[in-house]
Amino acid sequence: MKLTQTQLKKIVDELDFDFEVETEHRKGSTFYASGSYEITQEDIKDIAEATNIDANELQSLIGTYIDTSGVWDDDNGCDWYEYSQSRKVIVTIPEQIIPEHTVVQMQSF
């Protein structure tokens, strides 16, 4: 199930997810940041309440990620302004220079 930007923003604003934030942090500064959060079974009820979507319809979101980007400020916290969804996919890389192997990549949808 693909959620709209508005629904993703509402979920992030209403639910206090513990995002894994990726950034280069310098104390007392403002900088661009990005974060992601993996949706679990425990999150479905809260997401259903935030979006007014039936919890059964949201089951397909389990294992997908909510990705955000925005600005982090040490004094004011995070101001997320872009939201998207992604999922992990395993890709097999054929043998060329090195033996065949698999890698995990994030795929937006």
pTM of the model: 0.72
Q: pLDDT (tens digit, 0 to 9) for every residue of the chain, 109 residues total? A: 888 888 888 888 887 766 666 666 667 778 888 888 899 998 999 899 888 899 999 999 999 999 988 887 877 777 888 999 999 999 898 888 888 888 888 888 7
Q: DSSP readout, the chain? A: -PPPHHHHHHHHHHS----EEE----TT-EEEEEEEEE--HHHHHHHHHHHT--TTGGGGGTT-EEEEEEEEETTTEEEEEEEEEEEEEEEEEPPSSS--EEEEEEEE-
**Cα separation, 64 vs 67, whole angstroms:** 10
- What are the extents of the domains in the chain? 5-108
